[in-house]
Amino acid sequence: MGRYVIRRLLQALLTLGIVLFLLHYLMALSVQIRGNPALLFFGGDRAPDPAMLEQVERLYGLDSPCYERVGDPCLLPFVDRLQGFAQGDLGTTLNGNRDVAQLLSVYIPNTLRLFVFSVITLVVVSMLLGTWAARHRGRFIDHTVRGTTILADSVPVFLILLTYVYIAAVPLTRWARGIWGSESFMGQVFRPNYNPDYPWTTIIIPGIIVGTVGLATMTRLIRASQLENLGSDFVRTARAKGLKPMRITIVHVIRNSMIPIITGVGFLFAFMLSGAVLTEGVMGIPGMGRMIFQAVQRQEGNLVIVGLTVSAFVVVFVSLVVDLLYAALDPRIRYE
């Protein structure tokens, strides 16, 4: 068990390191090919004073000569950046010179809230639908569940978002406010945009929308794994032991079905990150997704790297948790 954990930890660290380097390299390439973002400081087409340009470059860590050579991996600035990260210094934004660490302390909690609701939606809805479909295999309910989830999956998130924001949200909000008043939970929950006075309430609906991203995949995964376990020999043994159906489901089916479910949540997490970018953008939630999107638009190299590092860290962390949960659930993995 101990060796397994250590190996997975080292793997996670290695992955994170590779991701960080790739991010840095791509960013360096974009500077090398597209041109120096420090020029933006001077309004673009005017030729700046070389001394001032140099000052700006130094300020944002763009003064290394490697940025002039296309294809140079820029190792020195990479090491500088890692040292900065290690000391908690995440740099500042080009635009407005704001402290990135401080920005993150505002954005990360919002995205976390969004993910709380989307993971709950994903797991609860797909568990219910998948179990329900498995129980009625081959019958009307099964076909309906499978058909509906595929339909939901083939509608892109932004369409669901736009439909909600532009068609459903306004009449729903008006109706709810007419009954419960605008300062109530119901008056806020249907809002088409985020309200910082209600950080939890106004994130529920966007969270549910992000949660629909992996619903079809997850439902089918759960349906398949439950069917496999329901027809398995050890469930037949459990029935032969005279266990109650409820106990068989909880002790002998659900636990055995957990492995594919955990796998599913693990990789859908990465998908949901991209769903979060869209949702935060459309619904005006000041979160990590919107931050990365705007950073790319404004050529904020440092902000892009920090933002993607955070999301890479989250993905690596989630897969580490998934691996550890495997071991906790399945002794065959634990004693490998």
Write out the residues near other proteins by the rule CB under 8 A: 231-234, 236-244, 247, 251-252, 255-256, 329-332, 335
**Buried b or exposed e, range 40-64, using 16+ CB within 10 angstroms:** ebeeeeeeeeeeebeebbeebbbeb
Closer residue to other proteins (CB): 50 or 242: 242
Closer residue to other proteins (CB): 44 or 242: 242
φ/ψ region of 78 (left if φ > 0, alpha if ψ in -120 to 50, else beta) reads alpha
Closer residue to other proteins (CB): 174 or 241: 241
- Nearest approach, Cβ of 262 to other proteins (angstroms)? 13
- Residue 15 is encoded by which pair of tokens? 């992955």
Q: How far apart are CA 202 and CA 196, in angstroms?
A: 8
- Residue 268 is encoded by which pair of tokens? 């859908």
Closer residue to other proteins (CB): 120 or 243: 243
Bridge partners, 92 (sequence order) = 99
φ/ψ region of 64 (left if φ > 0, alpha if ψ in -120 to 50, else beta) reads beta
Q: How far apart are CA 285 and CA 110, in angstroms?
A: 7
Are the CB atoms for 32 and 68 separated by under 8 Å?
A: yes
- Nearest approach, Cβ of 324 to other proteins (angstroms)? 16
- Nearest approach, Cβ of 70 to other proteins (angstroms)? 54
Q: How far apart are CA 320 and CA 109, in angstroms?
A: 21
Q: How far apart are CA 120 and CA 160, in angstroms?
A: 19
Closer residue to other proteins (CB): 54 or 228: 228
Are the CB atoms for 308 and 104 separated by under 8 Å?
A: no
Q: How far lies 269's CA from each of 7, 115, 220, 294, 311, in Å?
A: 23, 9, 17, 22, 10
Closer residue to other proteins (CB): 189 or 238: 238
- Nearest approach, Cβ of 1 to other proteins (angstroms)? 13
- Nearest approach, Cβ of 234 to other proteins (angstroms)? 4
Closer residue to other proteins (CB): 7 or 247: 247
Are the CB atoms for 121 and 207 separated by under 8 Å?
A: yes
- Nearest approach, Cβ of 180 to other proteins (angstroms)? 47
Closer residue to other proteins (CB): 30 or 232: 232
φ/ψ region of 35 (left if φ > 0, alpha if ψ in -120 to 50, else beta) reads left
- Nearest approach, Cβ of 236 to other proteins (angstroms)? 6
- Nearest approach, Cβ of 216 to other proteins (angstroms)? 27
